[in-house]
A and B are shown apart, each in its own frame.
Chain A
C-alpha cells in the first residue's frame, strides 16, 4: 500500500554501538527505513535484535556511555537530528516526537499526580496559562478514554491500573500533537483484553490526529492488527521489509518464516501439530557469525551464506529481503 503522504522520517544507514568492557556490541548495524506521515510502521524481532535501540536512537536517548550513534543519519522534517545539539533535541522530544514505553507500571513518576505529569509536557513546550493547560489535560484524558478525567487528574500512578497508566502515557505522548509517536512494546506488559483496548485506542487516535506511529513489538498479531508496513530485524540488521499483507501472505526470509511458524494457529484444532521453534539462540552482538548473521540457525543454509553477508535485495519491486535465496 503506497501512501501519498510525505516522508517525515528517514533513517539512513544507522549504526548504534555499545562500547562495553567485553567489546563492541553492534546493537543497530546499518539500518535504513522511512516513515510517511500518518502511517504505522511496525518493527518486529526477538529481544535484543536492536528494535528498541533503534527507537532510542531516533529520540537520541541511547544511554551514553556506553552507547553511541557511530554512523548514519536520521532525517526528521528535513533535518538530520543526529547532528543536533542536546538543547535542540529537547525541542523535539515530547513535542514533535512522542514516546510510549513498554512498562506502564514503572514509566510514570510515582510521586507526582498524573495530571501534573501530563501538564508538564505542555507547560514545557507550549507557553500556555495554567488554566488552559488544565483544560487541555482533561481533554487529553477524555480522548484516551479515562472516565471522569476532572477528578482523575489528581490521582497518583499507584491509584491506577496498568491499562489506565498506559492510557496516561499515551495522553502524555499525544499532548503536543507530535508528527510521530514511537511506541516501544506498548502492550507487552498488559493483559490480553487490555491489550486489545489499547491497540484500538491507538488506532482511533491515529485516524483522528494523523500522527504516524513506529510500533515496536515482537507480537505478529499486533503487527497484523495495526501496521501497514513492517520491518523484521535480526541481530541489529533489517532482514526483511514489506507491506504487512505481503509478509503474512508470503514471508520471504527464513527467519520471518520461522517467526510465523512459532505463532500458535487457531485453525489447527486437531491439537496434534506441535509449535515450531527456531533452533538455536540469537547470536551475541559482541561476536556476530561470519556471512549471513542468521546462517547458523537457518534451515535453508548453503555455502555462500557462511562466507558472504547478503545485501538487502529487492524482490517483487516493493519488498526487501536480506537472503541469498532471492538473488
Chain B
C-alpha cells in the first residue's frame, strides 16, 4: 500500500511538471504575445518593446520557461500585472473562500446524493425512487444562476432567514489567520463569527451542490443496483444477515468505486472556481478572480491561477486513486 502511494505521488510530480509546460505554452503561443494581448492592437511599437523587455518576453522561449519553472519551484508565481500584488498573496486570500464553499457544497452533495441513491436502489421502483430520480433530473437540468436567484428571493428577501451575499457580515469582526473563515473563527474562539460565516455559506453552497448532488444520486443508484445483483450479495443473504448489513456493508463498499470517481471529478470542478455561484452571491473566490484576470489580460495571474487549479485537480485525482486501493484490495496489487 505504501509503495502504491509512493508510485502515485511520483506520477503526480510528473503530471504537474507536464501541466506547467502546457500552461506556459498556452499563454506564450497565443497569437501575438502577452505584451500585445495586454496593451491591445493600437499600442505603439515602443511601448510594446518596453513591456516585452520588462516582462522578459524577448528572451528565447526555453529560457523564459526555465525562469518560470525555477520561480514556480520556489513558490513564486510572480506579480499580478493589474495590482502589482504578489499572485501567491492574492490566491491565499481567494482560494480558501473557494475551498470552503466547495467542501460545504460537497458535504451537501455527498450526504444527500448518496443517501437518496442508496434508498432508491434498495427500493427500486418505489415512490421514493421515482421522486428522488425526478428531483435529480431537475437538479442536473436547472441552470445554477436561476436556482441561485430563486433561493435568494425566497430565503433572503422574502423570509429573511439567510444573508444575501458575501462571506461574512460587515458588522462582524474576524481576525483572519488562514483565510479559511471557519477555521479562523474556531482558532480565535469567535463563536459569533463562526455562526455568521456558516450562515453565509448555506445558500451558495447549497446552490453549488445541486448538480453534483444529482449526479452522485444517479451514479449511486445505478452502481448499487449493479452490485445488488452480484452472487456475493446472495451469499450474504444466505448467511442470514440483515438487509441493513447487506446494503451498507457488503453492497455499498463494492459500489463505491464509480461513486468516488464522480465525487472526485465534481469536487475538482468546484474547486476550479464556481464562477456563476461566486458571481451571484458575490463570493470572493478564485473563479471570479481568475475570470477578472482573463478580462484584464493579466497573463501572470492567469498562469498562476491555472497552475493552482490544475494541480488541485490532479491532487484530488491522486487521492481518489489511493481511495480506490483502500476500498478494493485487488487494485493494490497492480
Judging by beta carbons under 8 Å apart, are A61 and B237 in contact? yes
Within 8 A of B (CB), among A77-109: 89-95, 98-99, 101, 103, 106-109
| CB neighbours of A106 from chain B (8 A) | 230-232
- Assess whether B6 is interfacial by the CB under 8 Å rule: no
List the A residue with the shortest CB-CB distance to B233: A109
Whether A59 is near chain B, meaning CB under 8 Å from some CB there, is yes
What is the 8 Å Cβ interface bit string for chain B, positions 217-244, against chain A (1 contact, 0 not)?
0000000000000111011111111100
The answer to whether B238 and A59 have CB atoms under 8 Å apart is yes
Q: Which of A13-21, A117-125, A278-286, A290-298 contacts B (4 or more CB under 8 A)?
A: A117-125
**Cβ-defined contact, A93 with B253, below 8 A:** no
Stretch in B63-71, B258-266, B278-286, B322-330 touching the partner: B322-330
Contacts of A95 in B (CB 8 A): 240
Q: At the interface, yes or no: B250 with Cβ under 8 Å from chain A?
A: yes
B165 within 8 A of A: no
Contact B254 A109 (CB under 8 A): yes
Considering residues B231, B237, B238, which has the most beta carbons from chain A within 10 angstroms of its beta carbon?
B238
Query: B240 touches which one: A94, A109, A110, A158 (CB < 8 A)?
Result: A94
Number of interface residues of A (CB under 8 A): 28
| CB–CB A103/B327 < 8 A | no
B241's partner among A120, A156, A158 (CB-CB below 8 A) is A120
Most-contacted residue by chain B among A99, A109, A124, A169 (CB, 10 A): A109
Cβ A172 vs Cβ B254 within 8 A: no
- Smallest CB separation, B333 vs chain A (Å): 8
Q: Are A124 and B240 in contact (CB under 8 A)?
A: yes
> Are B232 and A94 in contact, CB atoms less than 8 angstroms apart?
no
Closest to B229 in A: A63
User: Contact partner of A93 among B239, B250, B327, B328, CB < 8 A?
Assistant: B239
Chain A residue nearest to B230 in the complex (CB): A106
Kindly state the separation between the CA atoms of A125 and B254 in the bound complex, as whole angstroms.
Answer: 24
Which of B235, B241, B245 makes the CB contact (< 8 A) with A101? B235
Shortest Cβ distance from B243 into A: residue: A86
- Bound Cα distance from A98 to B253, whole angstroms: 25
User: Interface digits, B287-320 against A, CB 8 Å rule (1 contact, 0 not)?
Assistant: 0000000000000000000000000000000000
The answer to whether A111 and B238 have CB atoms under 8 Å apart is no
A160 CB → nearest B CB, Å: 12
A41 CB to nearest B CB, Å: 19
Q: Is the CB of B330 within 8 A of A91?
A: no
Smallest Cβ-Cβ distance to B251: which chain A residue: A109
Contact B239 A121 (CB under 8 A): yes
Among the listed B232, B242, B333, which residue makes an inter-chain contact with A109, where contact means beta carbons less than 8 Å apart?
B232
Set of chain A residues within 8 Å of B330, measured between Cβ atoms = 110, 156, 158
Task: Assess whether B253 is in contact with A90, with CB atoms less than 8 Å apart.
Answer: no
Query: Known contacts being A90-B242, A125-B240, is A107 close to B328, with CB within 8 Å?
Result: no
Q: Contacts A110-B330, A111-B253, A156-B330 known; A103 to B231 CB distance under 8 Å?
A: yes
B231: chain A residues at CB < 8 Å are: 101, 103, 106-107
Asked if A108 contacts B240 (CB within 8 A), the reply is no
Q: How far is the CA of A259 from the CA of B328 in the complex (A)?
A: 44
Given A103-B231, A109-B254, A110-B330, check contact A61 B240 (CB 8 Å). Answer: no
> A107 vs B233: C-alpha distance in the bound complex, in angstroms?
8
Q: Beyond the given A106-B232, A110-B329, A111-B253, could you list 18 further A-B residue pairs with CB under 8 A, ordered by the A residue number?
A: A59-B237, A59-B238, A61-B234, A61-B238, A90-B240, A90-B241, A91-B240, A93-B237, A93-B240, A95-B240, A98-B238, A99-B238, A108-B235, A109-B250, A110-B330, A124-B239, A158-B329, A172-B235
Can you list 29 pairs linking A and B with CB atoms under 8 Å apart?
Answer: A59-B237, A61-B237, A90-B240, A90-B242, A92-B240, A93-B237, A93-B239, A94-B239, A95-B240, A98-B238, A99-B238, A101-B231, A101-B235, A107-B231, A107-B234, A107-B235, A108-B235, A109-B236, A109-B250, A110-B232, A110-B254, A110-B330, A111-B328, A111-B329, A112-B250, A120-B239, A120-B241, A125-B240, A158-B333
Counting from the closest, the 3 A-B pairs by CB-CB distance are A93-B240, A94-B239, A94-B240
